[in-house]
Amino acid sequence: MAQLRPVLLVEDSPNDVELTLAALEKSRLANPVVVARDGVEALDYLLRKSNKYPESSGMAALPVVVLLDIKLPRVDGLEVLERIKGDPRTRHVPVVMLTSSREEQDLVRSYGLGVNAFVVKPVGHRDFFEAIRDIGAFWAVLNEPHPDGAAQEPGADR
């Protein structure tokens, strides 16, 4: 059986990380979850800029989906999105902006950069939980990934 590809959660809020992980666990999502606390960590993971995620760990596979906050330290989510969609190794990885931003310019810029979905984080715990559960189920279970995004590893030359 093929190893399940991870979900990459890029979030700097410890509370939102905890809630997201709990919601994904409760939804019985079998995919492992990798947490990056800022844009630099996310890019390190996706583009193999460090040895933090060795190939042998199983955590080095391209994620089945990236759940990406916009407001991040060091490198913001919009720049991370631009780098993901601009790199031939990662451009087919689905990215869901999961953010508290309701600013129209963030929505427009995200779609302009190629985001696959834009979800405003619900305020209530129950609504947040349900939204995460639905996002995880759709992207990790129901969605058929692009063949190049599923098969190509970031370290491979093309």
Please check whether residue 46 lies inside any domain of the structure.
Answer: yes
Low-confidence spans in the chain with pLDDT less than 70: 1-2, 50-60, 148-158
Return the structure tokens found at 144: 């058929």
Please write the tens of the pLDDT for every residue from 5-37: 899 999 999 999 999 999 888 888 888 999 999
d(CA 48, CA 54): 9
| Three-state secondary structure call for residue 108 | helix
CATH of the domain at 137: 3.40.50.2300
The whole-angstrom distance between residue 50's C-alpha and the CA centroid of its chain comes to 18
pLDDT at 48: 79
Domain count, the chain: 1
pLDDT at 152: 43
pLDDT at 122: 85
5, 40, 4, 34: which is closest to 17 by C-alpha?
Answer: 34
Please check whether residue 53 lies inside any domain of the structure.
Answer: yes
Identify the domain containing residue 130 by its residue range.
Answer: 10-144
pLDDT at 51: 62
d(CA 9, CA 20): 8
